[in-house]
Chains A and B, each alone.
Chain A
Amino acid sequence: MAKTLKTLGEDVWRTKVEKVNGELFALTYGSIVTQLCRDFNNNYAKVNAQLDKMGYNMGMRLIEEFLARSQLGRCRDFRDTAETVAKVAFKMFLNISPAVTNVAPDAKAFSLVFDENPLAEFVELPEAARRRAVGSAAGPVENGDAMASAPAPLWFSNVLCGVVRGALEMVQLQVDARWVSDVLLGDECSEMRVTLIKVLEDEVPAGED
């Protein structure tokens, strides 16, 4: 191939993409997350799920634009998919290039490590949203709700997992995408793990609402 994926991504970003202010995007996303936290009463597990769902819907529609602008054909293998997602897709939409790391030996999983995240531009999470301890005895029991025994942290950028999942499903790849670490939670880096579940055969997935 004459052009590398990296060059392709940069070219598309430079020439074929209409741009908007990244701060407006970041603030809008932040406001959406805040709204969800209010609507779901700070039940972060539910917020995470809703963000993933919204991302899924976005991904399903975004793939078409991706294919049209990148003019790319099929990926040879899942590793190729990883590189394409990282160097072309993320570049084209968010102007970032996460690194592909931790590719599983059977090439059925990979990690994307983000050194910059346009969504999290102005974000600091409150203490409660960062808590991850399982079975912490310190706090009072919440409503006697069994589900609340292991509080989930807020995966702020969870929408991106949904986008990856939705977009890949439209090209017949069923994947699981989830954050394993996030700088907003105090981790060293923000890493998304993408695992191939199976290759779909001619199925049209129902849209989630």
Chain B
Amino acid sequence: MDQVSLSAFAFLFSELVQYSQKHVKGIQDLEKRLNLVGYRVGQRLLELLVFRDRGSKRDVKLLNALLFINTNVWKALFGKPADSLEKSSEHDDEYMISDNDLVVNRYISIPKEMSQLNTGAFIAGIVEAMLDGSGFPARVTAHTVPVAGFPFRTTILIKFDAKVMDREKRLADK
């Protein structure tokens, strides 16, 4: 698989963030913009990876779709599967994929006054596009959730649309 240096990507990503900052009025807006840029990447990545890894067969079960992202997508993008995939205990329609050291964030330093910002919003956009494109519409966001030993751990929060949950229930009840 063709590769480029992490630096090349990091510099490019940093320019993207800086450019985006000029067109937005706040953190939420900035994250939305990054999400949008990532979304376009995700749309294409879905086609590419499903073709390569799944012989163009779509996952129809929610958990399989999530596992595809957690394992195949992460491996393709970052060389290793994500660090964890969890289901929220409070909300039935929420799942979390976490990465202790998200590559896109590694060389981004967030100033204190913007501590809410997580530029992983770009990756969230990729995930959102892949889920939307697979028939699992969701809202996906990135959050910094430090844990012991990993102060920059990023959690990608996936909140599925109601109709996805309905469909899963119907499929399970059959």
Listed in ascending order, the chain A residues whose CB lies under 8 Å from chain B are 13, 17-25, 27-32, 34-35, 39, 50, 54, 57-58, 61-62, 65, 92-95, 118, 121-122, 159, 209
Mind listing 7 A-B residue pairs with CB under 8 Å? A19-B3, A20-B3, A21-B76, A22-B1, A27-B40, A62-B7, A93-B5
**Docked pose: A110 CA to B60 CA in angstroms:** 55
**Docked pose: A50 CA to B1 CA in angstroms:** 30
| Consensus secondary structure, chain B interface | helix
Residues of B within 8 A of A50 (CB): 19
| Docked-complex contact A20 and B103, CB < 8 angstroms | yes
| Docked-complex contact B9 and A23, CB < 8 angstroms | no
Question: Given A39-B23, A57-B15, is A28 in contact with B9 using a C-beta cutoff of 8 Å?
Answer: yes
Point out which of B3, B23, B40, B78 has the most chain A C-beta atoms below 10 A from its C-beta: B3
Q: How far is the CB of B9 from chain A (nearest CB, A)?
A: 5
The answer, among A27, A28, A94, A122, for a CB contact under 8 Å with B5, is: A94
Question: Given A35-B36, A62-B11, is A24 in contact with B5 using a C-beta cutoff of 8 Å?
Answer: no
Q: How far is the CB of B52 from chain A (nearest CB, A)?
A: 10
A21-B76, A27-B40, A28-B13 are known; give 14 further A-B pairs, CB within 8 A: A18-B5, A19-B6, A22-B1, A22-B4, A27-B45, A28-B9, A28-B41, A35-B40, A62-B11, A93-B4, A93-B7, A94-B4, A95-B4, A122-B44
The 9 tightest CB contacts between A and B, nearest first, are A22-B2, A19-B3, A31-B40, A18-B6, A27-B41, A58-B11, A54-B15, A93-B8, A17-B5
Residues of B within 8 A of A17 (CB): 5-7
CB of B108 within 8 A of chain A?
no
> What residue in chain B is nearest A94 (Cβ atoms)?
B4
| Docked-complex contact B16 and A32, CB < 8 angstroms | yes
> What residue in chain B is nearest A38 (Cβ atoms)?
B36
Q: How far is the CB of B148 from chain A (nearest CB, A)?
A: 25
**Docked pose: A21 CA to B3 CA in angstroms:** 5
Question: Given A21-B77, A24-B77, A93-B8, is A31 in contact with B38 using a C-beta cutoff of 8 Å?
Answer: yes
> What residue in chain B is nearest A16 (Cβ atoms)?
B5
Question: Given A21-B76, A24-B77, A54-B19, is A29 in contact with B2 using a C-beta cutoff of 8 Å?
Answer: no
> What residue in chain A is nearest B37 (Cβ atoms)?
A31
CB of B165 within 8 A of chain A?
no
The answer, among B4, B36, B38, B40, for a CB contact under 8 Å with A20, is: B4
Residues of A within 8 A of B48 (CB): 23
> What residue in chain B is nearest A22 (Cβ atoms)?
B2
